[in-house]
Amino acid sequence: MMTTHTITVPGARIAYDVRGSGPVLVLAGFPMTAGPFAAMAETLAEHHTVITFDPRGMGRSPVDDPDKGSTPERRADDVAAILDAIGADKADLLGSSGGGVTGLALAARRPERVGVLVAHEPPLFELLPDAAERHAATEDVIATCRSEGVRAALAKFMVGVVGYDARMGENAVRHSSEQDLADFARLFAHELRSTTRHVPDLAALAGTRVVVGVGIDSTPLVTSRTSRALAARMGVEPVEFPGGHGGFRTHPAEFAEVLHRTLTARPASTEPGGSR
C-alpha cells in the first residue's frame, strides 16, 4: 500500500510517497517526479521502505516563488527533511539524472544521512573534457526556451544536450503532458544551469559508499560519459543497469533487481541503509 504525504520546507511544499517496509530507500529523480519510478518502487517495496517524491517546483511540489530557482544543495536539504519526517536516521538512495546530482550533494553535505548512494547517470558536465561545448549547448536551450517556448527547447535539449537522435527529440515533445512541459520549462528557466555545472566534492564523499550507475543502452548519451568520468575520478568501476537513461521506467523489474543486488552487496562493516 502506498501513502502520500506533504511537508513544508523553506520556500516549498514537498509531496512524497511511502511504500513497503524495511531499510529505507529513496528514489530521487530530477526533473523527473515520483511517477516514472512507480512501477519499480512497487517491486522494491518487497524489501525496502521506498520513498519517492516530486522535487521542489515539479509536479505536486509547489514553490512559494516560481521565479526563483533551486540548487542541488537545496534539493539535498529537501531529501534530508523527508527523512526527518519519516523518522529515518539515514537511507540508501538511488539518484537518477539530476537526482544523481542531488544525491551527490546530500552525501557530501550530510554523509551521516546516506548509507549507499547509487548515482545513475548524473549530468556532471564539468567533468568532461568538452565541458565548454556542453555548457554552450545548455545555454542555447535556455535561450531557446525564452525566445521560442518550451517545446522547441525540449527538442533541442534532447538532441543537443542529452545526445538522443532527432526522432527521440520529436517523440519527447509529442508525448509530454502539460505537466511535463511545465516541469521542463522550470528546468530550463531556473534549474538546468546549476545542475549541470555542479562539481562533486570528492573529498567529502570519501566517507560514503558511492556506486556509479550507467545504462547499458546509454552509450551514445552525454550522461554515459559523465558517469564514466565520475567513476574514473572516484577510482571505481561503474555498474551497468538495464536500459538507457530512463531504464528504471522501461525495465523496472530488471532495474530493481540490479539495484537491490547492488545495495545488499555491501561490506559487513557498513550500517543498514536506514530505519524508521
Residue-wise pLDDT for 140-165, tens only, equals: 999 999 999 999 999 999 999 999 99
Q: Which residues pair with 226 in a beta bridge?
A: none
Instruction: Give the model's pLDDT for residue 265.
Output: 84
Contacts of 127 by beta carbon, 8 Å cutoff, 6+ apart = 199, 226, 229, 230, 233
Cell 515533445 -> residue: 173
Annotate 147-163 with three-state secondary structure.
HHCHHHHHHHHHHHHHC
Q: How far apart are CA 227 and CA 132, in angstroms?
A: 18
Structure confidence by residue, pLDDT tens digits, 183-230: 999 999 999 999 999 999 999 999 899 999 999 999 999 999 999 999
Burial of 221 (0-12, 13-18, 19+ CB in 10 A): buried
Cβ neighbour number for residue 139 with a 10 Å cutoff: 12
The confidence score (pLDDT) of residue 271 equals 41
Percentage of the chain beyond pLDDT 70 is 96
pLDDT of 7 higher than 70? yes
Domains of the chain, each with CATH number or no CATH? 2-124+198-264 (3.40.50.1820), 129-197 (no CATH)
Each residue's pLDDT tens digit, 35-65? 999 999 999 999 999 999 999 999 999 999 9
